[in-house]
Amino acid sequence: MLKEFKISTTKKQEIIDITEKVKQIIKNSGVEKGLCFVYVPHATAAIIVNENYDSSVCKDILAQLEKLIPSKGNYEHDKMDDNAHAHIKASLIGPSETLIIEENELILGTWQGIALVEFDGPRNRRVIVKIKN
Ligand code: ZN
């Protein structure tokens, strides 16, 4: 089954927890065992699976990516669209994650969650969830 939901981001760069939304889709699907593919069809956003408990982790991830790939730089793409850094960051992190479903639940570590990473907000983002049993 294929489901989709929207996230409106509010900042230039931010990490938004989407774990509960994905869990709800799995619950409603009734799928007991299978795979859950979470994907953003965007070139300047990404999906991560990481700690969602302490917000300092998200701050550190964004701050260190900013050090590696500064928002302002001598980028070719900035001549036509001022967001080259966002494309590079998004391509490094990747647009998707695949998770395992067992007993109609996602297998996630105690501190793990699924999050959308915005690199060129604020924008309206689509999140696509494919569940396969
Ligand atoms: Zn661009």
What confidence tens digit (pLDDT) does each residue in 73-113 have?
A: 999 999 999 999 999 999 999 999 999 999 999 999 999 99
Whole-prediction pTM: 0.96
Q: At what angle do helices 55-68 and 84-93 cross, to 10 degrees?
A: 120
What's the pLDDT score for residue 120? 98
In the reported structure, the alpha carbon of residue 60 is separated from the centroid of ligand 1 by a whole-number distance in angstroms of: 24
- Strands (E) across 14-110 are located at 14-17, 34-39, 45-51, 96-102, 105-106
Question: Rounded distance, CA 60 to CA 82, Å?
Answer: 24
Region at 103 (left for phi over 0; alpha for psi -120 to 50; beta for the rest): left
Question: 84 CA distance to ligand 1 centroid (A)?
Answer: 6
**pLDDT number for residue 54:** 84
d(CA 72, CA 5): 31
Look at the domain 2-132 and name its fold: Jelly Rolls (2.60.120)
C-alpha 83 to ligand 1 mean position (Å): 5
Q: How far is the CA of 85 from the centre of ligand 1 (A)?
A: 9
**Distance from the alpha carbon of residue 77 to the mean position of ligand 1, in angstroms:** 7
**18: amino acid identity, one letter:** I
